[in-house]
Amino acid sequence: MREAVDTRRLGVGIVPAAAVCLAAPAFFVLLQPLLGIALLVIGVGAAVALERGRVAASAPSLARDLSLIAMGTLVVSSISLEAKLDTLSMLRFTLALGGAVALPYAVSRWVYRDRAIRFPWRGGGRWRGWQWGWLVAVLVLGWLILPFYFITSGVYRNWPVVDSPDLIGRLFVGVGAVGIWDELFFICTVFALLRRHLPDAAATVLQAVVFVSFLWELGYRAWGPVLTIPFALLQAVIFLKTRSLGYVVTVHLLFDAVVFAVLVHAHNPGLLDAFFLVAP
CB 94 within 8 A of CB 181: no
Q: What angle do CA 188, 245, 130 make, to 5 degrees?
A: 130
Answer whether residue 136 shows pLDDT above 60: yes
Structure confidence by residue, pLDDT tens digits, 85-128:
999 999 999 999 999 999 999 999 999 998 899 999 987 788 99
As a whole-number percent, the residues of the chain with pLDDT over 90 amount to: 88
Structure confidence by residue, pLDDT tens digits, 32-42:
999 999 999 99
Given this model, what pLDDT does residue 22 score? Answer: 98
Given this model, what pLDDT does residue 56 score? Answer: 65
From residue 137, how far is each of 42, 100, 157 by CA, in Å? 41, 31, 27
Answer whether residue 208 shows pLDDT above 90: yes
**What is the number of helices (H) and of strands (E) in the chain?**
10, 0
Structure confidence by residue, pLDDT tens digits, 95-107:
999 999 999 999 9
Given this model, what pLDDT does residue 106 score? Answer: 97
